[in-house]
Chains A and B, each alone.
Chain A
Amino acid sequence: QKEVEQNSGPLSVPEGAIASLNCTYSDRVSQSFFWYRQYSGKSPELIMSIYSNGDKEDGRFTAQLNKASQYVSLLIRDSQPSDSATYLCAVINAGNNRKLIWGLGTSLAVNP
């Protein structure tokens, strides 16, 4: 089992819809969770960080963390074509020298 797992996609949604991206992790004592957006050929850009159970909202983005079920999700409301990118989930794994562990990313396509 990979430490951080994401569906590779592509996830395709129409413009204006809600895009839902999911990430599961294996280390139960993980503490910190991040979502990054990466456009093709560019570097990762931090979208959201979340540290405690529940929802965290920032503009059109909402991160949801459920430590009991070991998943973290990212919702993008009113999806725009400019949201088309790969979304990377990253987790600080307390059992691995507190190193940041990355998923392989989910490709999102927002269709006009």
Chain B
Amino acid sequence: DTGVSQDPRHKITKRGQNVTFRCDPISEHNRLYWYRQTLGQGPEFLTYFQNEAQLEKSRLLSDRFSAERPKGSFSTLEIQRTEQGDSAMYLCASSLSPENSPLHFGNGTRLTVT
């Protein structure tokens, strides 16, 4: 399977704990995106990378969120001191470099903060 891979599929954590998610993009894709989605809403942009460079981060994203893509391949998204409002589906997507290339999504990580 050469699609976008995300791990874990589900994560349940207690409020205040830190969590980290991993995304492996399609191998030839140099752009990688993180989105968050809650029920009944479209995906909400969090951040994106071109190769290892983080080019944009949503202003809605608090300092508790950080993302890395150290070698331009896989990426991690960390949420520190989780809050119940962080409960959502976290989606990773990748695309080729042209800006009009479509995004291909992984299966997502569903986070539940209790």
Digitize A62-90: 1 where CB-to-B-CB distance is under 8 Å, 0 elsewhere: 00000000000000000000000000101
A92 touching B100, Cβ below 8 Å: yes
- Please report the total number of A residues contacting B with Cβ < 8 Å: 22
B99 touching A44, Cβ below 8 Å: no
Q: In whole angstroms, what is the CA distance A36 to B47 when docked?
A: 20
Instruction: Let me know if A111 is at the binding interface, CB within 8 A.
Output: no
A102 touching B43, Cβ below 8 Å: yes
Q: In whole angstroms, what is the CA distance A57 to B42 when docked?
A: 25
> Do A104 and B42 form a contact, CB below 8 Å, given A43-B89, A97-B56?
yes
Residues of B within 8 A of A32 (CB): 99-100
Q: Tell me which of A43, A51, A97, A100 contacts B91 (CB under 8 A).
A: A43
Q: Tell me which of A41, A42, A46, A102 contacts B42 (CB under 8 A).
A: A102
Instruction: Let me know if B25 is at the binding interface, CB within 8 A.
Output: no
B41 touching A104, Cβ below 8 Å: yes
Q: Which of A41, A45, A51, A100 has the most CB of B within 10 A?
A: A100
List the interface of chain B (C-beta within 8 A of A).
40-43, 45, 56, 89, 91, 99-100, 102-108, 110
**19 extra interface residue pairs, beta carbon distance < 8 Å, beyond A32-B99, A46-B105, A103-B42:** A32-B100, A43-B91, A43-B107, A44-B91, A44-B105, A45-B105, A51-B100, A88-B42, A88-B43, A90-B42, A98-B99, A99-B45, A99-B56, A100-B45, A102-B43, A104-B40, A104-B41, A104-B42, A105-B42
List the interface of chain A (C-beta within 8 A of B).
31-32, 34, 41-46, 49, 51, 88, 90, 92, 97-100, 102-105
